[in-house]
Amino acid sequence: MEKRFKRIFLFIGVTSALNCYAQNEIVLNADKGKDIISKNIYGHFAEHLGHCIYGGFYVGDTNKTIPHKDGIRLDVIEALKKLKVPVLRWPGGCFADTYHWKDGVGVKKERPSMLNVWWGNVKEDNSFGTNEFLNMCELLGAEPYLSGNVGSGTPQELSDWVKYTTHPNGSSPMTDWRQKNGRPNPWHVKFWGLGNEAWGCGGNMKVEYYANVYRQYATFMTNWNNSDRIYRIASGASDADYHWTEVLMKELPANMFDALGLHHYSVIDWGKKGSATSFSEQEYFTTMKRALLMEELVTKHSAIMDKYDPQKKKALAVDEWGGWYDVEPGTNGAFLFQQNTMRDAMIAGATLNIFNNHCDRVKMANLAQIINVLQAVILTKEEKLVLTPTYHVMEMYNVHQDATMLPLEVSSNKYILGKDTLNAISASASKDKNGVTHISLVNIDANKTQTVSININGADYKTVSGRILRSDKIQNYNSFEKPTAIVPVSFTDAKLNGNKLEVKLPAFSVVVLELK
């Protein structure tokens, strides 16, 4: 063999041996926390789409088979309370820019019907409207985030919605109408979206035009008082459309907005999304590559915002994110109903780590969507209900809500497939109000256990405990027949020795550790 080739083989041999035995290393800076992980990073999104609202949340107030309160499923409320849903975005999505809220209030049988043109042309009878949604948020203990119709509505219509929901009794015809509809006092509605995907289904606008439209709509959304100030979120960029963010930051007056949105879906190829459950390792790898792109997107959009807002007063709200695959065979193609496997648990764990680590700018995120649509946390079928692997990740991670983020330095082994590589490990950490530290770790490697060595600076922990979510196959999921096939269990592979913590993460697993 030629000398040159020998050298190449030797190099390949040494690097792959190094990769096998290299350690994943994390430095936990336990005394360097300064930013709070807003609980709203753990937010959700509910659209009038498929069976998210009808059949998911709402089964009608005359339903005799499924336990409900005013038509809202009680099993769903119970499950979501455990998740500690902080904020819920509604009524869309694309649907929001076709929605006229006045059609959805008042006596139900007098409410007009419409066609849901974005999602299958099905009849929308408006039986679930503003009162039902806001009362449901109160039941859930979640803050509502109303997505206003800017694409096909009017500034007056949006201004009236603000009055109907938030202004004090007796202050306008809108608040009189609210009282007539059974709700004398205002709800607490802080978060308002001004349009959705204005660059697409929300009106196909150019950003320069949208910025003007935004200013017009925002002008008439009056705050009642400063203690309950409304928080306005502009329809943000799609993926890497940095021009969109740049123009909004330049053109929107600072007193007229609080956050910019951002939408990013982990989709393999919009023309060929692939099955949610029956996928190859290559498809898994590509999905994870798309999911991990969130790090770059958040970093680059934030850098643009930094130029105009160095003090980070304005937030980035990733108000749609998640995995998107082909619908389940035999279901309506417009209903976006997909199963949820360990692949989705990997997307959730890795993405939430990214958001936690960027909590100085990312103050809200809304997983798409909460029930029966895309990367759902709950699936329902008549009276049956399934909690998905994504639900369990969100539940395990809710310890980070409103905790102080602890900065980590992560050096990860590579997950290699063919010629491509991704970081196998992702992590984030926080300290809660009781002084307890939590570290969430994800190993996305489809094949290898990863041993992680964590060096602890600035704390002297005495105990470690934790929970793990894992399964035998990355394609595994919870079905209506086996709803608890994948659930978190106690984790015993974390060993604390002085200021060193050694953790063995099985292939495609999510672990959350508690250090005291």
Name the site residues for ligand AHR (rule: CB under 6 A). 47, 92-94, 196-197, 320, 368-369, 374
**Which residue type, as a one-letter code, is found at position 177?**
W
The least CB distance from residue 324 to ligand AHR, in Å, is 8
The least CB distance from residue 135 to ligand AHR, in Å, is 24
Determine the Cα–Cα distance for residues 478 and 309; give it in Å rounded to an integer.
Answer: 44
The least CB distance from residue 86 to ligand AHR, in Å, is 19
Which helix (H) or strand (E) covers residue 346, if one does? helix 342-357
**Bridge-partner residues for 456, per DSSP?**
28
The least CB distance from residue 94 to ligand AHR, in Å, is 4
Active site residues: 197, 320
CB closer to ligand AHR out of 287 and 443? 287
Number of residues in the chain: 516
CB closer to ligand AHR out of 197 and 258? 197
What is the SS3 assignment for 17-39?
HHHHHCCEEEEEECCCCCCECCH
Determine the Cα–Cα distance for residues 216 and 201; give it in Å rounded to an integer.
Answer: 20
Residue among 59, 185, 192, 52 at smallest CA distance from 131: 185
Cα 147 to chain centroid, rounded: 16
Determine the Cα–Cα distance for residues 157 and 103; give it in Å rounded to an integer.
Answer: 11
Q: Are 316 and 362 in contact (CB under 8 A)?
A: yes
Q: Are 501 and 437 in contact (CB under 8 A)?
A: no
For residue 398, report the phi and psi dihedrals to the nearest 5 degrees. Answer: -70, -10
CB closer to ligand AHR out of 196 and 478? 196
The least CB distance from residue 164 to ligand AHR, in Å, is 24
The least CB distance from residue 29 to ligand AHR, in Å, is 37
Residue 228's SS3 state is helix
CB closer to ligand AHR out of 92 and 203? 92
Q: Are 300 and 336 in contact (CB under 8 A)?
A: no
CB closer to ligand AHR out of 320 and 395? 320
> What is the b/e burial string over 34-62, where b = at least 16 CB atoms within 10 angstroms of the residue's CB?
ebebbbbbbbbbbbbbbbbbbbbbbbbee
CB closer to ligand AHR out of 66 and 294? 294
Q: Are 513 and 465 in contact (CB under 8 A)?
A: yes
Whose CB is nearest to ligand AHR?
93
The least CB distance from residue 190 to ligand AHR, in Å, is 21
Q: Are 67 and 73 in contact (CB under 8 A)?
A: yes
CB closer to ligand AHR out of 197 and 344? 197
Determine the Cα–Cα distance for residues 181 and 178; give it in Å rounded to an integer.
Answer: 5
Cα 356 to chain centroid, rounded: 12
